[in-house]
Homo-oligomer: A and B are copies of this chain.
Amino acid sequence: MIIKLSQSSTEATLNTLTQWFAQQGVEVRKVVLENQVLLVTSSKWRGDTSYLNSVEGVESVVDTGTEYQLCTRKFQNQDTVIDLGGGVVFGRGCTILMAGPCAVESEEQVMRTAEFLRSKFDIKVFRAGAFKPRTSPYSFQGLADEGLRLLEKVRENFGMKIITEVKDTTHLDAVADVADIIQIGTKAMYNFSLLAFCGQLEKPIVLKRGFMTTIKEFLQAADFIMSNGNSKVILCERGIRSFEPQTRFCLDVCAAALVKELSHLPIVLDPSHAMGIAAQVPLVAQSAAALGIDGLLIETHPDPANAKSDKEQALSFEQFSQMVPVLDRICTAVGRTLVA
């Protein structure tokens, strides 16, 4: 249950409500989202809404009927818009093409990639990981702080926005200093402390669905961030694990279609990780774009064969170049504008 306080509500309103809930033994969480004060109870609590509505300073009481609350259209019907400036707007009819290599490997590698993306297609958001969550302790784990510095250079030299991944809380501050958009990866989606800390930031958060995560749990994770005060959450579907061994993951377009209806948050898709095979990534990107989504994350590398991580799925510049005009036409076909 969400109790929305009006702008004219006072401290007294809050006290009245807090005491009332305390008397009933109901925990309630105060959330401030975009200057709007909310009190949120457990999603299971069903109580006396007529009383709540009668309290002065209460604007409305919303029962979303679901275990996720703040991210739903029941709470806010209109799409959340996240505007980073420079034409990068999520949630208002654009499909933002975010591209770059899986990992920051070297200055030469990121600069070549950024130069290609910016000069040839005017790509506005550069993606690359400095902290890589690798399953093997013996694999390349990313350049860490050195990688972040290289990403800053990309922004300075090419005026691109930077999206980069945070693995866990140990390096969140460092990432938050540099990133324009912070990405919570699929393996970190259940790291609830990380979600809470990201909720205390002002920067937009791309939240990737875990590859074994139900829609319910995915949206609950979004609520974890939002209930800590950050309304700038961008959902990302990046493929679920299936029984099929020949594809890396299975891009769940049915879930993406449903999430668009359930939530007011922007949604982007990551065809690269889902497919895992470069030759088919453009087809899957087409399939994703046709859903009418807010963005795409695509991996490209100047020399895929020698990439230090996920080389099988990185597009060559040539493959990338052939893909963009098709994506552009598809976005138009579904009433969107490809921002690339």
Interface residues of A (CB under 8 A from B): 27, 29, 40-43, 67-69, 133-139, 141, 167-170, 187-188, 190-196, 210-212, 214-217, 220-221, 223-224, 227-228, 239-255, 257-258, 260-261, 274-277, 279-280, 283-284, 286-292, 326, 329-330, 332-334
- CB of B279 within 8 A of CB of A137, answer no
Q: Bound state CA distance, A254 and B274, in angstroms?
A: 7
* CB neighbours of A248 from chain B (8 A): 254
Q: Bound state CA distance, A266 and B288, in angstroms?
A: 21
Q: Bound state CA distance, A254 and B287, in angstroms?
A: 9
- CB of A284 within 8 A of CB of B254, answer yes
Q: Bound state CA distance, A251 and B251, in angstroms?
A: 8
- CB of B243 within 8 A of CB of A243, answer yes
With A242-B252, A254-B275 as given contacts, are A69 and B214 in contact (CB-CB < 8 Å)?
Answer: no
- CB of B135 within 8 A of CB of A190, answer yes
Chain B's closest residue to A285 (CB) is B290
Q: How far is the CB of A221 from chain B (nearest CB, A)?
A: 7
- CB of A254 within 8 A of CB of B261, answer no
With A135-B190, A137-B220 as given contacts, are A255 and B250 in contact (CB-CB < 8 Å)?
Answer: yes
With A167-B193, A190-B188, A333-B330 as given contacts, are A220 and B289 in contact (CB-CB < 8 Å)?
Answer: no
- CB of A168 within 8 A of CB of B139, answer no
- CB of B287 within 8 A of CB of A244, answer no
- CB of B168 within 8 A of CB of A194, answer yes
Q: Bound state CA distance, A35 and B324, in angstroms?
A: 43
